[in-house]
Structure 1
Amino acid sequence: MKLPEARAALSAAQRVAVLTGAGISAESGIPTFRDAQTGHWARFKPEDLASPEAYWRDPELVWEWYAGRYRDVMKAQPNEGHRLLAQLERQKGDGFFLATQNVDGLHARAGSTRLVELHGNLTSGRDEKTGETFALAAPDTLQTPPVSPNGNRMRPNVVWFGEYLSEDALEAAADAFAAADVALVIGTSGVVYPAAGLAFETLGQGGVVIEINPTPTDLTPQMSFSLRETASKGLALLLE
Structure 2
Amino acid sequence: MRLFVLTGAGISAESGMGTFRDTDGIWSQFDPMKLATPEGFAQDPALVHDFYNARRQNLLEASPNAAHTALARLEDALTQRGGDLYLCTQNIDDLHERAGSRHVAHMHGELRKARCMSCHAVTAWDGPLGLADNCPSCQKQGSLRPHIVWFGEIPLYMDDIAHALEEADMFVSIGTSGSVYPAAGFVSEARDLGIRTSEINLDPSDNAYLFDERHYGPASDAVPAWVDRIVKALEARG
Q: TM-score, normalised by structure 2?
A: 0.86
Query: In structure 1, which of residues 155, 161, 165 is the aligned counterpart of residue 155 of structure 2?
Result: 165
CA distance in structure 2 between the partners assigned to 1:29 and 1:207 by the alignment? 33
Deviation at 1:37, TM superposition (A): 5.8
Question: 1:64, 1:173 → 2: CA distance?
Answer: 31
Give the secondary-structure state (helix, strand or coil) at the position aligned to 1:31. Answer: coil
Mean Cα displacement is larger for which, 28-37 or 112-121?
28-37
2:174 is matched with which residue? 186
- 1:119 is matched with 108
Name the stretch that deviates more: 61-70 or 214-223. 214-223
- Residue 71 of structure 2 contacts residue 227 of structure 2 at CA under 8 Å; is this kept in 1? no
Deviation at 1:61, TM superposition (A): 1.4
Q: Which residue pairs with 1:155 in the alignment? A: 145
Aligned to 2:77: 91
Task: Look up the match of 2:231.
Answer: none
Instruction: State the 1:36 CA deviation.
Output: 3.4
Percent identity (aligned): 39
Q: How many residues are treated as equivalent by the alignment?
A: 218
Structure 2, unpaired ranges of 5+:
229-238
CA–CA separation in structure 1 for the residues paired with 2:160 and 2:41: 29
Cα separation, partners in 2 of 1:83 and 1:131, compared to 1, 3 Å: same
Q: Does 1:71 align with 2:61?
A: no
Q: What are the residue-to-residue correspondences of 1:28-107 with 2, within 5 Å?
A: 28-33=15-20, 35-36=25-26, 42=29, 44-93=30-79, 95-107=84-96
Q: Is the 2:130–2:144 contact (alpha carbons within 8 Å) kept by the matching residues of 1?
A: no
1:69-105 deviations in Å (ceiling 9; x for gaps): 1101111011111111111111112521011000011
For residues 107-156 of structure 1, the C-alpha deviation after alignment (integer angstroms, 9 at most, x for no partner) is: 111121222101001111001111111011x43xx352332212122101
> 1:64: Cα distance to partner?
0.9
Distance 1:177 1:230 in 2: 26
Q: Structure 2 counterpart of 1:25, which letter?
A: S
| 3-state SS of 1:113 partner | coil
Is the 1:181–1:202 Cα contact (8 Å) retained in structure 2? Answer: no
How far apart, in 1, do the equivalents of 2:85 and 2:27 lie? 35
Q: Does 1:196 align with 2:155?
A: no
Q: SS where residue 55 of structure 1 aligns?
A: helix
Whether the 8 Å CA contact 2:2–2:167 is kept in 1: the answer is yes
Structure 1 distance, partners of 2:159, 2:218, is 28
Instruction: Report the aligned-residue RMSD.
Output: 1.7
The one-letter code matched in structure 1 to 2:98 is R
What is the SS of the residue equivalent to 2:5? strand
* Distance in 1 separating the partners of 2:20 and 2:46: 19
Where structure 1 has 5 or more consecutive residues not aligned to the other structure, the ranges are 1-13
**Which amino acid letter does the alignment assign opposite residue 10 of structure 2?**
G
Contact 1:173 1:198 in 2 (8 A): no
Q: Which has the higher contact order (CA 8 A, sep 6+)?
A: 1
